[in-house]
């Protein structure tokens, strides 16, 4: 099992998955999440341990990398699945087909290449269909790397999968983009992602503490009741 982390270290979210405002503005669904760097560092890193299935300059999506990540934990549902990740619009590519990558691998630089882009950003798309990794229902015709899909949508929300790795060497931060936030281009769940470094038993500890507090409260309630009864008896 592996957890995937953000592909850029200091980043902000611009547009969420299947965002309604995007759909109205561009007359098509948004099948991924858009991120932009908040510093001058445009490095795009691998999100986990994976294998590059395709990489190159696509005539529609610009600098494109298609990566297979296996046994990925989907924190929103608790499932573990193999996933295809597609990243678009990169200015430069540092990976090639067949390459094995880890979170220490630079796969490219964020850019503004290809169509469907109105400013520098990285489009991150996750797909459960690992059999046809370069197929997308978005395309009406094949591009040079991507293929026109069958019309079945197998993409999932990257915000339900990705983690923020706050510890070294990544030291990741994720913030909302103020301009886009006012137009409701994304939800809170798109930038409040779980921490990669959160202890595994965090949830268990939290639940235990809650239970203890409830037990204590019950005891106090019983005590107060006893005291009241005693008072009544004394008055009588």
Interaction site with Zn ion (CB under 5 A): 32, 34, 123
Choice between 34 and 190, CB closer to Zn ion: 34
Tell me how far apart the alpha carbons of residues 85 and 103 are, in angstroms, rounded to a whole number: 14
Our measurement of the distance from residue 155's CA atom to the centroid of its chain's CA atoms, rounded to an integer in Å, reads 12
Tell me how far, at minimum, the Cβ of 69 lies from Zn ion, in Å: 19
Maximum C-alpha span of the chain: 92
DSSP state, residue 121: B
The distance from CA 227 to its chain's CA centroid, rounded to whole angstroms, is 54
CA neighbours within 13 Å on the CB side: how many for 98? Answer: 0
Return the number of the residue (34 or 58) whose C-beta is nearest Zn ion. 34
Q: How far is the CB of 15 from Zn ion (least distance, A)?
A: 6
> Given the complex with Zn ion, which of 34 and 157 has the nearer CB atom?
34
- Name the residue among 59, 121, 63 with its Cα closest to residue 91: 63
How far is residue 127's CA from residue 162's CA, in Å, rounded to a whole number? 13
CB of 72 to Zn ion, least distance (A): 20
Within a 10 A sphere around the Cβ of 129, how many other Cβ atoms? 17
- CB 120 to Zn ion: min, Å: 12
Q: How many angstroms separate the CA atoms of 50 and 103, rounded?
A: 9
Two structure tokens written together for 156? 């999932």
Least distance between Zn ion and beta carbon 29 (Å): 10
* Smaller CB separation from Zn ion, 163 or 186: 186
State which residue, 159 or 196, has the beta carbon closest to Zn ion. Answer: 159
Tokens read off for 179: 């301009």
Name which of 86 and 123 has its Cβ closer to Zn ion.
Answer: 123
Partnered with residue 195 across adjacent β-strands are 164
Q: Which is nearer to Zn ion, 127 or 196 (CB)?
A: 127
Spell out the residues 6+ positions from residue 13 whose beta carbon is closer than 8 angstroms to its own. Answer: 33, 34, 35, 174, 175, 176, 177, 180, 186, 190, 191
Residue whose Cβ sits closest to Zn ion: 123
């Amino acid at each position: 099992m592996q957890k995937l982390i953000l592909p850029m270290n200091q980043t902000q979210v611009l547009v969420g998955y299947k965002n309604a405002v995007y759909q109205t503005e561009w007359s098509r669904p948004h099948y991924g999440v858009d991120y932009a760097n908040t510093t001058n560092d445009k490095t795009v890193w691998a999100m986990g341990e994976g294998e590059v299935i395709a990489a190159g300059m696509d005539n529609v999506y610009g600098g494109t990398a298609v990566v297979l990540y296996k046994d990925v934990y989907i924190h929103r549902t608790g499932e573990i699945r193999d996933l295809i990740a597609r990243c678009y619009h990169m200015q430069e590519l540092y990976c090639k087909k067949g390459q094995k990558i880890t979170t220490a691998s630079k796969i490219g630089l964020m850019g503004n290449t290809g169509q469907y882009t109105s400013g520098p950003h990285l489009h991150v798309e996750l797909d459960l269909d690992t059999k046809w990794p370069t197929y997308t229902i978005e395309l009406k015709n094949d591009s040079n790397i991507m293929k026109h899909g069958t019309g079945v949508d197998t993409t999932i929300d990257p915000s339900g999968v990705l983690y923020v790795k706050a510890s070294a060497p990544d030291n990741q931060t994720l913030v909302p983009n103020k301009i886009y936030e006012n137009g409701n281009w994304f939800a809170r769940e798109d930038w409040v992602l779980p921490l990669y470094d959160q202890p595994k038993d965090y949830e268990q500890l939290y639940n235990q503490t809650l239970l203890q507090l409830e037990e204590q409260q019950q005891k106090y309630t019983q005590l107060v009741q006893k005291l009241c009864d005693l008072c009544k008896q004394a008055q009588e």
